Amino acid sequence: MLLSSATHDRIRAEIAHYPNPRGALLFALHQARDELGRLGRDAYAEVGAIFGMRAGEVAEVASFYSLFTQPSAKAVIQVCTNLPCCLRGARGLVELLEHQIGAKAGASSPDGRFAISEVECLGSCGTAPVVQVNRNPYLENVTPDLIAELTASPEAAIAARHPAPIISIIPDGVDGYLLPPNGAKWLTLDDYRNHGGYQAVVKAGQMTPKDIANLVKDAGLRGRGGAGFVTGLKWTFMPPKDDRPRYLAVNADESEPGTFKDRQIMERNPHLMLEGIMIASMAIEANAAFIYIRGEYVDAYQILRNAIGEAYRAGILGDNALGFGRRFDIHIQPGAGAYICGEESGMLESMEGRKGQPRKRPPFPAQKGLWGQPTTVDNAETVSHVPSIIMRGADWFKAEGAEKAAGHTLFGISGHVQRPGVYELKLGVKLRDLIFQYAGGLADGRTVKAVIPGGVSMPVLRGDQIDIAMDHESVRKVNTLLGTAGVIVMDDRTCMVRAALVIARFFEHESCGQCTQCREGTGWLYRVLTRIERGDGRMEDLATIVDTASYLEGKCICALSDAAAWAASNFLRQFRPEFEAHIEQHRCPLPESFSI
């Protein structure tokens, strides 16, 4: 036996939480990798024996996830090289690491002590550049000095801990209800209860499921996971209650580059999210809720697990939860490094212990979701708004936001601003104010050249388009979307071809590969943009970008292909002369731009 009996016990205890044991497969693979340092044939066979699967089947699932396929070494140093981290010097850190360790990114050092891995957005763009060693808590705002500390020895790299700075803020004058004030963390049940926690769920317990859904619908809460769908309305799509189990699946995968807000709730106010989950579950009459959290969020995972454990011990969860006479459970499942598992049906596949490949719809999750049962998928931030709506009412919530976009949201702002971070503000705040008043503007008198308003999937804006309100309807007037409200700011030195290329590389890497257009098209966009950026482009390449985007949009199983199309075609639409200059001059005309 390769794995210790303690590991076997942990896996068996985890299996007990799921209607089908495979719900614990990713958890088991993490346990195996953490213990053995790498996963190979023997580990797959041993894990497979627990789940009644062949080693090959386990290997096939594992091979889908980047956290299970990293190079093996005692200390694997992962550097995020997505756009916000590259804008703040990530490439320089990779080069420094390569120099000091004597290995190229993607490989292990000759002595097998270190490996360097370039990874996609770690959901911490406000503290870019970000590094993670093995599955330890993140190292944030990383400097060359810290790289020197990490490369001293694998033991030093593994031991390195630098507490995460508090970067989520309720600005003065805002009556915050998502974040604790003054940088506080309400991690324990007592902390949360001392601030009014778990009163809303008791109040909701006196309401009918229909009344809860109608109240949240009247309040106008829209999903904060990217698509902005009306939450209360989505809840009404669940079929009438019958004797089948039904579930709430909470999306805490947070992998859209530029987005780092759900983590702030989970790490600072975990019981708020749990209370929101309980109320949402009452509205849809769910028997249990499952939180799917990205595998790299080790701190948030542990904080939530602790909070869930406390809630069970206090009788808030479990048999006769809160004294309402019925059982209610919440469990948490780790992902393993695949952006596509944030797409709701890819997430359901992953939660069931498979490759996270999106499902064809219909049937929609409300008809056939987790383990084939009626399921609603809500984002982690979305459910966290619900307790305040229950306590303070629909009119209050509507007054806290913009028309057709009620309430606050957690705006993440990263890139070339002086105070990157997460700001709890009313929807409808001006983009200009977000950049200059809250995030402190740009350094050294630089000017805004481009802004992505809601994660890299959303169409880019030019610097002269920032006088808009940040709500779902207003941003449409300038042909973009609010997405996750993760704002990425680029200054006047930034090469737009390079920015588009980093994003295209991301989509090419994250396409799950099951649709031909997406698999091939994201690769085409990446290769054409690479050629233009290198100075080898041709004018026909610009038409190829437009053409390829048109083959991707609306033609595939999920919206990743649309996102890839929008990103590339909108950079070209907004900054065409710069693309042409690259081709005409056979080089990048912006010598001071960031490196990729």
Ligand X SMILES: Cc1cc2nc3c(=O)[nH]c(=O)nc-3n(C[C@H](O)[C@H](O)[C@H](O)COP(=O)(O)O)c2cc1C
Cα–Cα–Cα angle for 580, 94, 75, rounded to 5 degrees: 150
- Closest contact distance (angstroms) between CB of 84 and ligand FES is 4
Segment contacting ligand X (CB under 6 A): 193-201, 251-259, 276-284, 402-410? 251-259
Closer CB to ligand FES, 235 or 411, in the complex: 411
From 116-124, 146-154, 507-515, 583-591, span contacting ligand FES (CB under 6 A): 116-124
* Alpha-carbon gap, residue 94 to 422, rounded angstroms: 26
Query: Is 350 within 8 Å of 357 (Cβ atoms)?
Result: no
- For position 378 contacting ligand X by CB under 6 A, the verdict is yes
Min dist. Cβ of residue 81 to ligand FES (A): 8
Q: Does 226 bind ligand SF4 (CB under 6 A)?
A: no
Whole-angstrom Cα distance, residue 556 to residue 516? 8
Residue 80 interacting with ligand FES (CB under 6 A): yes
Q: Which stretch, 75-83, 176-184, 331-339, 459-467, contacts ligand FES (CB under 6 A)?
A: 75-83
Determine if 561 is a binding residue for ligand SF4 (CB under 6 A): yes
Coil, helix or strand for 526?
helix
Query: Which one of residues 120, 256, 296, 533 is an interface residue with ligand X (CB under 6 A)?
Result: 256
Q: Rounded to the nearest whole angstrom, what is the least distance from the CB of residue 526 to ligand X in the complex?
A: 16
CA distances from 460 to 409, 452, 455, 499, 522 (A): 20, 5, 10, 10, 18
Burial of residue 444, with CB atoms counted within 10 A of its CB: 0-12 exposed, 13-18 middle, 19 or more buried: exposed
Interface map 117-156 toward ligand FES (x if CB under 6 A): ----xxxxx--x-x--------------------------
Element at 448 (helix H, strand E): strand 448-452
130, interface contact from ligand SF4, ligand FES, ligand X, none, CB < 5-8 Å by kind: ligand FES
Binding mask 507-546 for ligand SF4 (x = CB under 6 A): ----xxxxx--xx---------------------------
Among ligand FES, ligand SF4, ligand X, none, residue 257 binds (CB under 5-8 Å by kind): ligand FES
- If binding is defined by CB under 6 A, does position 253 make contact with ligand X? yes
By CB under 6 A, is residue 7 in contact with ligand FES? no
Binding range to ligand FES, per CB under 6 A, among 82-90, 298-306, 350-358, 539-547: 82-90
Q: Which stretch binds ligand SF4 (CB under 6 A): 291-299, 489-497, 558-566, 587-595?
A: 558-566
Binding residues among 331-370 for ligand SF4 as defined by CB under 6 A: 340, 358
Q: How far is the CB of 36 from ligand FES (least distance, A)?
A: 27
Considering the complex, what minimum distance in angstroms separates the CB of residue 256 from ligand X? 5
Number of chain residues interacting with ligand FES (CB under 6 A): 13
Out of 31, 82, 376, 379, name the contact with ligand FES by CB under 6 A. 82
| Widest pairwise Cα distance in the chain | 73
User: What percent of the chain is helix, strand and coil (3-state, nearest 5)?
Assistant: 45, 15, 40
Q: How far is the CB of 421 from ligand FES (least distance, A)?
A: 13
Q: Under a CB-based contact definition with an 8 Å cutoff, are residues 84 and 257 in contact?
A: yes
519 binds, among ligand FES, ligand SF4, ligand X, none (CB under 5 to 8 A by kind): ligand SF4
Amino acid identity of 487? V
Closest CA to 475 of 420, 419, 427, 526: 427
- Residue nearer to ligand SF4 on the CB measure, 354 or 462: 354
Contact 74, 67 (CB under 8 A): no
Q: Which is nearer to ligand SF4, 300 or 512 (CB)?
A: 512
Tell me whether residue 17 or residue 368 sits nearer to ligand SF4 (CB atom): 368
Tokens of 141: 């705002």
Are 358 and 347 spatial neighbours (Cβ–Cβ below 8 Å)?
no
Kindly tell me which residue out of 97, 558, 567, 572 binds ligand SF4, with binding defined by CB under 6 A.
558
Give the Cα separation of 489 and 467 in Å (integer): 14
Q: To which residue do tokens 């009459």 refer?
A: 285
Which helix (H) or strand (E) is 77 found in, with range? strand 75-80
Nearest alpha carbon to residue 303 among 263, 274, 267: 267
In DSSP notation, 69-122 reads SSPP-SEEEEEE-SHHHHHTTHHHHHHHHHHHHT--TTSB-TTSSEEEEEES--
> 134: which residues sit within 8 A by CB, 6+ positions away?
34, 75, 76, 158
Tokens representing 227 are: 């698509």
Nearest to 106 by CA among 81, 139, 142, 138: 81
**Which among ligand FES, ligand X, ligand SF4, none contacts residue 122 (Cβ within 5 to 8 A by kind)?**
ligand FES
Query: From start to end of 369-407, where are the E strands?
Result: 375-379
Going 205 to 206 to 208 to 211, the CA torsion angle's sign is: negative
The residues that touch ligand SF4, with contacts defined as CB under 6 A, are: 340, 358, 511-515, 518-519, 556-558, 560-561
The residues that touch ligand X, with contacts defined as CB under 6 A, are: 223-227, 229, 251, 253-256, 340, 342-344, 377-379, 382, 558-560
The residues that touch ligand FES, with contacts defined as CB under 6 A, are: 80, 82-85, 121-125, 128, 130, 257
